[in-house]
A and B are shown apart, each in its own frame.
Chain A
Amino acid sequence: MNSPVTLSRRLFLIRSAQAGAGLTLGVALNAGAADGYTGATGKAVDDELAANAFVTLKPDNTVIITSKHMEMGQGTFTGMATIAAEELDADWSRVETVSAPSDSDTYKNLIIGMQLTGGSTSIANSWTQMREAGAAVRQMLLAAAAKQWQVPVGELTTDANQVIHGPSGRKATYGELSTAAAAMPLPDKVTLKDPKDFKLVGKQFLPRKDVGKTDGSATFTQDVRWPGMLTAVVAHPPVFGGTVKSVNADRARAMPGVKAVLEVPSGVAVLADTFWQALQARKALDIVWDEGEQADFSTAALLAQYRELAGKPGLEARNDGDAAKVLAESEQVIDAEFAFPYLAHAAMEPMNCVIQRTDKGADLWFGSQGPAWDQVNVAKVFGIKPEDVNINILYAGGSFGRRATADGNYVTEAAHIARAYGQSVPIKLVWTREDDNTEGHYRPMYVHRIRAALDEAGNVTAWHQNVVGQSIRGLDENTVDRTSVEGAANLPYAIPNIRVDSHNTVSPVAPHWWRSVGSTHSAFAVETFVDELAHAAGKDPVEFRMALLRDHPRHRAVLQLAAEKAGWGKPLPEGHFHGIAVHESFSSYVAQVAEVAQNPDGKFRIVKITCAVDCGVAVNPDVIKAQMAGGIGYGLSPLMFSEITVEKGRVQEANFDRYRVLRMNEMPAIDVHIVPSGEAPTGVGEPGTPVGPPAVANAIFAATGKRIRQLPATEFFA
């Protein structure tokens, strides 16, 4: 056991109003708050399951872990439970995870500073907090047992939801002790386990805690149904920036089940008893649109602008030495330009939101990634306080960043509909796939131009990278957006002269974060270009990188592990080729080796991806492997097929028939290896995504001698 540590955040107890209802414990984040949860927030705690706490013990011996992070498939419900249950010494089969409500003070993401699930931060920011929450509850159980049995605390141990007194052989379950534990004083110091004593953290397999997903019983936003609920669909303008000029809704209003047709800022909403009725009525609307200034907008024209900017100086994102001078004086300069299209997230569950205006505020039910933003945006629409907006956070059917909307977007639209309708009935806003795929909030288009100089010995002496695209964070033309240049400005390779330029561009299409954000494009540009430099220098791509990564041991370790596990440099079957890439994002390190095979028709099949990951302490190895595999699959779609293009203001890929995504027959075999580590844990939701595409592109180069400069590279695959 480690020595006790003072709690880094003040703990407080929540005692249920019901006698004998067990113990709940929360961690207060605001050191200045009044004692006790109730006093701090003014909310009554009469239902322990809905109480704002991280750990709840129930007399039936169930342990409920409240996850401040929403579950969208990434396994965070399992992760939060693992960490708290570890320190609590809980029986995994008796642990359940529930979602926290919207309460940004209590459930703040400690890295981001507000309640938000994103940036692959969930495990990283919760690690210490959830350990302390679990350890404090365990300590109270020990104190309760010691008092009941009149034995010293030092003689007590815990295991699998039981407190055990070795000398007497007495045992009691956590459930049996929960009420007595609730009466114990809150510990001001807790003892955290020595990692060598971990039983759950690092265990190869634990059943997931987001249950109900194999029998249809899990509730997604799409499945919420309240008595009297109406379904809303919205006719959106056909072009970006369009507005309603006039609407004739007579036919729509007369259709069965239709309750209202309402103009809202984003278009015309139809409310009906069922989705199908609403959809039919939407088709019957007669709307004249003002297409505005963007009626002729095209992504082809935008790309041409970006290519021009890629040759011009931009904002300085990094400047080591004098790259321009060295490039001008060098005999061997390699110059390449890369283009990346807009991408829709295309989560399986299109955007949706259930909302009901109440006397005091509003209740919402949906898979919110950023409840703190959503509360503010909904509150603005109604002119109420954000804390009077109550969000019940549900499972999201995928999201990949899409549901983290600082600008409100579909959530604001739902609020406008509820406001315009006026009556206090639950309304479910449903976007069709076409609504979802054509609305914007895409991974923006980018162009990268990279020029690098090699000396006679094959050393890279200068690197100049120019990144052109929209600022996801909406920064002006004079401010570098780190999300545009992440993966480029922090280039890990030891090159004496590095310059990175950034251009924030203007487009009518709303930009958004898309699983791994800047790395979605920077990793491809950097890692295929480094491969190109290795070949130009006549060096093996692994050895070439290893030498340039001399100051980055964690990059080196994953690179070496992936290469070793894939059999890099060893003979492959006829027609099979290897490519490799390494990239750090969100403080996790990933290297991947792609094995591709060329079919008789010249097209490529991605046979296998071997992945090595270093994410610090591996809390849930099985979840890490799942996230690497899923991240790889998500990243391969835009390498192979996916893109959003706009012609005459209209998105051309509205549904999966034209917005092609990876399917079963295109998924490679995946082999994931985790670097053993005692470093603080970091995220895994995003870092697997950006590495596969450059590894595959490098393998295709090995096969064909052709470099991929523009995504998607459909010609190689279909």
Chain B
Amino acid sequence: MPVTLNVNGKTHTLEVDPQTPLLWVLRDHLQLTGTKYGCGIAQCGACTVHLDGQPVRSCSVPVSAVGDQPVTTIEGAESGEFQALQKAWQDLNVYQCGYCQSGQLMSAARLLADKPDPSDADIDQYMSGNICRCATYDRIRAGIKQAASDLATEVSA
């Protein structure tokens, strides 16, 4: 049974085992390798993508469960929140090894969409599912706050 997927605005029809996790379809079939494998059991968040705008752990979503919900990966992320975060990540040298950062950015983009002025507690709640072994957490926190502030300035300007 072919599987039809809408990823980053494009429709793909693939011959693939329907039990294959979305992560491996993205990486091995669509060559969208910005989304990373870290644990395979939805513990680390490196594989975070948006499914119909909500962050999900793509390692634990069978491709058959995606249906017609649009998938957004780091390669296709272009919301205002995402762009502000990306800029803050560069302005503050947030990343180190960088392997987890696609997932961090995808989680943070949803956080800012829900909470444009996040508190520390909001950041803890939204971001504690994304492990960073380089422990860039303090800069991720600062990056989220800077992006929030940049977006607020944009809105009021």
- Partner-B contacts on A (CB < 8 A): 71-75, 205, 207-208, 210, 212-220, 222-223, 225, 231, 256, 274-277, 280, 346-350, 395-400, 430, 432-433, 622-623, 626, 629-634, 636, 655-657, 661-665, 667, 669-670
Contact = CB atoms under 8 A, between A and B. Distances in A.
Contacts of A665: 124-125, 127-128
B34 to A, nearest CB: 2
Given A626-B136, A664-B128, A655 B28 contact: no
B21 to A, nearest CB: 7
Interface in B30-50: 31-41, 43-44, 46
Given A630-B136, A655-B41, A74 B31 contact: no
The 3 closest A-B pairs by CB, nearest first: A216-B34, A633-B135, A397-B99
A667 B43 contact: no
A379 to B, nearest CB: 28
B118 to A, nearest CB: 12
In this complex, which of B74, B125, B136 has the most chain A Cβ atoms within 10 angstroms of its Cβ?
A: B136
B51 to A, nearest CB: 17
B135 A630 contact: yes
A256 B17 CA distance: 9
Given A217-B34, A395-B97, A398-B97, A667 B86 contact: no
A349 B36 contact: yes
Contacts of A664: 123-124, 127-128, 130, 137, 140-141
B131 interface: yes
A142 B96 CA distance: 36
B133 A670 contact: no
A626 B139 contact: yes
B133 A400 contact: yes
A208 to B, nearest CB: 5
Given A276-B24, A626-B136, A663 B131 contact: yes
Nearest to A280: B17
B58 interface: no
A656 B98 contact: no
B90 interface: yes
Contact of B43 (A207, A218, A220, A656): A656
A632 B135 contact: yes
A623 B74 CA distance: 25
B30 to A, nearest CB: 11
In this complex, which of B43, B102, B134 has the most chain A Cβ atoms within 10 angstroms of its Cβ?
A: B134
B154 to A, nearest CB: 19
A661 B129 CA distance: 11
A221 to B, nearest CB: 10
B75 interface: yes
Contacts, number: 173
A216 B35 contact: yes
Contacts of B43: 655-657
Contacts of A231: 28
Contact of B29 (A208, A274, A631): A274
A215 B36 contact: no
Given A433-B39, A663-B128, A629 B95 contact: no
Contacts of A636: 135
A526 to B, nearest CB: 23
B86 A630 contact: no
Interface residues of B, number: 56
A348 B97 contact: yes
A656 B44 contact: yes
A396 B97 contact: yes
A481 to B, nearest CB: 26
A276 B28 contact: yes
Nearest to B41: A655
26 contacts: A73-B96, A73-B97, A213-B98, A216-B102, A217-B34, A219-B33, A274-B24, A275-B28, A276-B20, A277-B17, A349-B36, A395-B97, A398-B134, A400-B133, A433-B39, A433-B41, A623-B93, A626-B136, A629-B135, A629-B138, A629-B139, A655-B43, A656-B44, A663-B129, A664-B123, A664-B128
Contact of B99 (A220, A277, A432, A433): A220
Contacts of B34: 215-217
B21 A208 contact: no
A516 to B, nearest CB: 14
Nearest to B28: A274
Contact of B93 (A74, A395, A622, A656): A622
A346 B99 CA distance: 13
B75 A216 contact: yes
In this complex, which of B102, B130, B131 has the most chain A Cβ atoms within 10 angstroms of its Cβ?
A: B131
B90 A214 contact: yes
Contact of B101 (A214, A622, A656, A662): A214
A463 B127 CA distance: 45
A662 B135 contact: yes
In this complex, which of A214, A256, A670 has the most chain B Cβ atoms within 10 angstroms of its Cβ?
A: A214
Interface in B59-112: 73-75, 86, 89-90, 93-102, 105
A223 B24 contact: no
B132 interface: yes
A365 B80 CA distance: 36
B63 to A, nearest CB: 10
B40 A432 contact: yes
A207 B96 contact: no
A397 B39 CA distance: 13
Nearest to A658: B43
A397 B34 CA distance: 12
Nearest to A670: B138
B81 to A, nearest CB: 14
